Amino acid sequence: MNIQEHHIDPHTEKQVSYFQIARHILQFVHPPEVDLDRCLPSFSSFVVEPILEPAMLSVELTTRAAPADDPDTKLLSDISVIWEERFRFEETSDHYVTTILAGVDERPWKMISTKDFKHSVIYAQADELYTTFKAAWLLMIAFGQAGLQHQTILLHASVVERNGVGYAFLGKSGTGKSTHSRLWVKHIEGTQLMNDDNPVVRVYDNAEVFIYGTPWSGKTPCYKPIEAKLGAVVRLEQAPYNKLQWQKAKEALIALLPSGSAIRWNPELFDSMLKTLEVIIQGVPIGYLRCLPDRDAAALCFAKILEYKAASASS
């Protein structure tokens, strides 16, 4: 569906578009002249028609000037893995402020969000809408935080899908998450890449855990609006051998926690993430794989997961 097909609100002269991610609705408000197919190309498969279900979050994009900085603003962080020193995350009494500072031939972008991230406004630079991924990145920040109170976690991981089951691989940057996914796709029949950087894990009220493709997939274009039951989560570490160990309780939480999306300065959101991770740990096998970037590592990982499932089914 072409993103531009969505309606214009007659009361505000703003266009309203809707995206469905992990079965949540993201309402996106923007000037009618903005070409979202060019501004947010990775979102085209996630477009849905307006529905009665309330949106989990609403984000407005505007090209008007951002309001003046609050003199009482508190700096929480000034470095990002993506933007390095060109990033500021700040707090006021009522809002969080996310700023991507200007680079060469650029001007700052700013997003002002309520403390629960249910409502955000992105103050964008009109001449950069189609040449950067800043709008998509800020939407990811808002979605990742807003979802935490809905048992939904944006996970830094590479994930593959096979026969309706998803397998997520975690690890520090450069560990080999993408390489391990590619080894699964190449050597384990029926496997496809689902997302290569930021899938979403959602826990439902019956404690079932599903993983979803998203519009955010890092350097690998893989924007699939598909879902799969989460079959296992495996943290990778480079080693001169291949060995997988299953993690329980505290060790499992330690394996998952660094890849979660919660900002540590908001106790409510962080606590929501911890509670969701605890449910995931209870129902999904969590592994630690020390491995080489080779076929045997993928084969071992897959075999151990099958063994775990067989043992669980027979117990």
Averaged pLDDT, groups of 10, the chain, 315 residues long:
43 84 97 95 94 90 92 90 86 95 82 97 95 96 97 97 98 90 97 97 96 95 96 97 96 95 92 96 96 97 96 83
Tokens representing residue 251 in the block? 């060790």
CA angle 14, 47, 97 (to 5 degrees): 60
Residue-range domain boundaries for the chain: 3-150, 152-314
Q: How far is 182 from 142, CA to CA, in rounded Å?
A: 29
The residue written with tokens 């994009």 in the block is 61
Q: How far is 77 from 79, CA to CA, in rounded Å?
A: 6
Of the candidates 195, 138, 128, 141, which has an alpha carbon nearest to the alpha carbon of residue 166? 195
User: Which CATH number applies to 152-314?
Assistant: 3.40.50
pTM recorded for the entire structure: 0.93
Give the contacts of 80 (CB within 8 A, at least 6 positions apart).
Answer: 86, 87
**Burial degree of 184 (CB within 10 A; 0-12, 13-18, 19+):** buried
